[in-house]
Structure formats: C-alpha cells, structure tokens
Structure 1
Amino acid sequence: MYELTVRDHVMIAHSLPDAFFGPAARLHGATFVVEVTWSRPELDEHGVVIDIGEASTRLQEVLADLNYRNLDEHPAFAGRFSTTEVVAGHIGDRLRAAMDLTGFTALSVRLREHPDAWASYRLEL
C-alpha cells in the first residue's frame, strides 16, 4: 500500500456548549494542524500516489472555508458540536466530494489540536 500525506493548518474559533467539555464550553480559538493521507495499492502511471501540488491545493481549498471562521456560525456545524473529530470528518467529506478518488482505497484526515492530542477520520473507499 502506498500513501502520500500533505499538511496544512487552519485557525478557527468555536465553543462546545455543554458541561461535558469543561472550559471548552466557552468560545475559544484553536489552530489545527491538518494532515491528509491518500492511500492506494499501486502507483499511478506517473509513479505517484497523487501529485503533491494537487493534494496541497485541494486541502487548501477545503480549509479556506473554515479558516478564521467561528464554527458556531458555520452552516456545516449547525445543530452539532464542532469537536476535533467532527471537523476532521467534515474535511474528509469535503475532500471526497471535491475529488475523483478512483483508484484510491482510503483517505485519512488527522487534526492535531495539540502536540500530544489529535483526532482522525478515515474514509475507506
């Protein structure tokens, strides 16, 4: 299995208004480091999993809709908590909708909220 990963970051604000989340229930900011991995069993005719430039551009396009936004006001998160896991899923689903993923077996999104804490979302294709 071959894999290629690109990384970027996004700066957001949000709140998680439930006592379960402790101090994160209040409005706060976060900078997520976003890593996306494309997986496929064989390289394409160019000898790559995916072109790094295309992968980076696609990720930037998806993140542009989130960057410097208050996710409490973003329609994609209406009626649900914008947890790290939910945001990772949103990014993965947006990438899947924006790309032809023929030939890929998986797409994984990892959001690093802190050097010692992260969440991932993996789409089996």
Structure 2
Amino acid sequence: MLQQFYPQVPHSYTFELNKDMHLAAAHYIDDERAGNCQNMHGHTYFINITIAGDELDELGFLVDFKRLKQIVHKRYDHTLLNQHAEFSNRPPTTEEVSRQIGEAVQAELNTLANKPVCLQVVVRETPTSYVVFRPKQGDSHA
C-alpha cells in the first residue's frame, strides 16, 4: 500500500490517530449539470479518518481501529451510495460522502467514555481528486 500524507489539523490534543481504508462503491448524480457523473459509475474510494483526544480507554486505545472500519467499510463497501437513506435528499457527491462518514464516526465516538473527536475525514475519489471534511468546533453534529 502506498503511504499517503494528508493535510494536518492543528490541535492541542495529546493523541492523534489516523485510520486509512478503502472501499468500492457506485454512485450517480441525478442532475444533467453533473455531465457524465449523472450516469452510474464506481470508484475505489480511499479514506483517511483523523481522531484526537486526551484520554485513552481502559485498553489503552483512543479508539479501536477495527471500530472505525466497521462504521464506514461495513456500511458503504460494494454498495450503490444513492440507495442509502442519508443520501435521499442530497446526492452522494464526494463532499457529502465525507460529511456522512464524519458524522457517523462522531456519533459513535460520542458513546465512548474517553470522548475522542473526529477532526477530519479525507475521501479520495480518484488519484487526483479528494475532499477534506472538517467539522467546526461546537458543530451540533459533533
């Protein structure tokens, strides 16, 4: 696997965790302004999630890497993104995919006693195109 480096998020947390993963999924943007993207097509998405916090859990984890993969990979891998409820009102653009991943990860992190936070989600759609989602501090989704 080629090692990737991602934009850094300035923060003062003690620990920062990054999880890389990839998944295959199809989508389409149901609007003629999307050009060829209005046709169903697929991508191998490369995703990086940055989590930070000051406290570790009882096992010494900020969050278990496996837990992050389950939140994202299990939900989206080998699916048609347009069929997911979270994309019923918004098309599954890379921007929206990154937001939905960030919100789902943060919702899970909110259940943990050590309260880590999702600082950013990078979703690479092609070798030359990616989106960075960074929740604002105090965002109601975080």
Give the TM-score normalised by structure 2: 0.72
More strand by share: 1
Q: How does 1:62-101 map to 2 (within 5 A)?
A: 62-63=71-72, 64-99=74-109, 100=112
Taking structure 1 as reference, are residues 116 and 28 closer, same or farther at Cα in structure 2, changes over 3 Å only?
A: same
Of 49, 60, 71 in structure 1, the residue corresponding to residue 69 of structure 2 is: 60
Q: Structure 2 stretches of 5 or more lacking a match?
A: 1-11
Give the TM-score normalised by structure 1: 0.81
Q: Structure 1 stretches of 5 or more lacking a match?
A: none
One-letter code aligned to 1:60: K
**1:31-82 Cα distance to aligned partner (Å, 9 max, x none):** 1101000134x46489x7825xx0x212211121111111121112112110
SS of the equivalent of 2:62 reads coil
Residues 4, 49 of structure 1: 8 Å contact kept: no
Residues 49, 118 of structure 2: 8 Å contact kept: no
Aligned residues: percent identity? 25
Q: Distance in 1 between matches of 2:80 and 2:132?
A: 21
Residues 119, 134 of structure 2: 8 Å contact kept: yes
